[in-house]
Amino acid sequence: MSEWSLAPKAFVGSLGIEGHSAEVEFTVGLDEAGQAVIEFNPLDVNSQTAFVMTHSNAENGRFSCFKLEGADGEGARFECDNLVLTGLGSQSVLAPGFTEMDEAPFFVSTMTPRAAYSTARITMKAGVPKELCAKELAEQSEPPVVQWQLKGFASHGCLSADCPLGAVTMWGNMENKGQNDLTGTLRVAAASEQTDVEEWRKQTESLCRHVRHVMSFAVSSMLGTPVEEFYHDDMVVMDLLSQSEQQRSEFQVFHHLDLDDIFKCAVVSHFQPAFDVKNITFAIQWFAMRAAYRESRLISSMTVLENLIDSNLPEEDTYILSPKAFEKLRGKLSEKIKELAMGWAEDEASQKAYVKEFNDRLSDLRRRSLMDKILLLAKRWGVELSDIPQEFIQEAKRARDLVVHRGSFEQKKDSTRDLHDHIVTVREVVSRFVLTALGFEGRYISYLGGYHTRVFTKNAPELNYNAGAPSSLTLVTPTKALPD
């Protein structure tokens, strides 16, 4: 098996920075992880190349970015404007025409730079893709194609769906592949030639980003896309993205043998979202983030839940009282605190310290509790949470708060729920909110009460639902006092 996903190609071009430039020869190939491997031929150290050594040293903790570009003489081009030299590979070699046996051999200094990049681009003639969902093509079709190479994705056969932009397919196989290798492909092929190819490409890449995020949520791991290809007019533009190692999937929401429904939902929800959801991408990225410690997993899961809630509830629904009503309450409470503080301490300084401490905390009284906000958004979206005890969610939040302040989790002696239970509870709540936001219906994996498959169905939203105290935006005159 080849160690390259794209065999190294030889280029001749230039390496430059801040007005300096030198002719260079180099090769670029893509390894099995889709990472570009850039190797330079040795450069003589002289007045024309001295700038390379000068600018390769980090200043103020930051490396200089070089521009590298070249052509192979057969229509292929390489371009990168953010190249960082991680080493110079300096050495002395015999000058041409001299040998070590000479009485006075002459040596010259050379350097073979080592390089890293953030983004780069290869433009070349298009070849036939290795596999097109089990369909062998004799030649590249004329309509444009966007194709992303994926890491960490596996499926049972080819997933497919049609949309206004064309045919969308996604497939992957991790057999005999390393964790960080390219394992799959996401492909969108236009049904016909486009009058505005660039606009089609822009919209298609937006679709691919959405599908990639949804499928990352499905497998609970952000799918790497180190190579993004665009085919048109017998040419392919390959955008190369340097990425960290692919993380392992944990707590998958969908089994890799059961991805058809969520894939179709991913495509449909891009064009017809069930709700106008804010920060869904942020939620999925945090949800799919791998954590080295279980405590970190609880923190990230709770962060997703709180962000989804606060991003998608109107501001007035996150508070119990209007500012005017609360300021009136705050004034009354502050007066009472001052009165009581006189019995807590004899000296005036201590009394003022008590008053300040309590007054600083009064603002929290106006905020609606997290549990109320969760129930509020759940009812308005139609998210089924009746089978998840509220105390489970509240205990998970308290556990998260303890981890944030102490750095570790300690189970209470009288509690039967451990850290794993809290993580599972929060991730289950988040999963249901995300599935509802996508408009999904079908099977998914639930870990609540143990690993099992659960059927997810839509509930009718209650758009006017209020959880806890109503959101009062006006002051009202009480008609009678509350009972003692």
Whether residue 336 lies inside any domain: the answer is no
The pairs formed by 367-372 with CB atoms below 8 angstroms and a separation of 24 or more are: 367/318, 367/319, 367/320, 368/317, 368/318, 368/319, 368/320, 368/467, 368/468, 368/469, 369/468, 370/306, 370/309, 370/397, 372/467, 372/468, 372/469
The total number of structural domains in the chain stands at: 3
Same domain, 116 and 158: no
Backbone angles phi, psi at 147, to 5 degrees: -140, 120
Same domain, 44 and 149: no
Model confidence over 267-278: pLDDT tens digits?
A: 999 999 988 899
Same domain, 131 and 116: no
Model confidence over 67-96: pLDDT tens digits?
A: 999 999 899 999 999 999 998 887 666 666
Same domain, 86 and 137: no
**pLDDT (0 to 100) of residue 416:** 84
Same domain, 243 and 307: no
Same domain, 53 and 172: no
The last residue of a domain, from among 272, 292, 307: 272
Taking only the tens of pLDDT, the chain with its 484 residues reads 467 889 999 999 999 999 999 999 999 999 999 999 999 999 988 889 889 988 887 666 678 899 999 999 899 999 999 999 998 887 666 666 666 666 655 556 888 999 999 999 999 998 655 444 544 444 445 799 999 999 999 999 999 999 999 999 999 998 878 888 999 999 999 999 999 999 999 999 999 999 999 999 999 999 999 999 999 988 999 999 999 888 877 899 999 999 999 999 999 999 999 888 999 999 999 999 887 788 889 999 999 999 999 999 988 888 888 888 888 998 999 999 999 999 998 899 999 999 999 999 888 888 888 999 999 999 999 999 999 999 999 999 999 998 888 888 888 777 889 999 999 999 999 999 999 999 999 999 999 999 999 999 988 888 777 655 555 444 444 555 445 4
Same domain, 26 and 45: yes
**8 Å CB contact between 438 and 357:** no
Model confidence over 110-148: pLDDT tens digits?
A: 889 999 999 999 999 986 554 445 444 444 457 999 999
Which phi-psi region, left, alpha or beta, contains residue 220 (left: φ > 0; alpha: ψ -120 to 50)? left
Same domain, 430 and 447: yes
Same domain, 172 and 208: yes
What is the span of the domain harbouring residue 198? 126-272
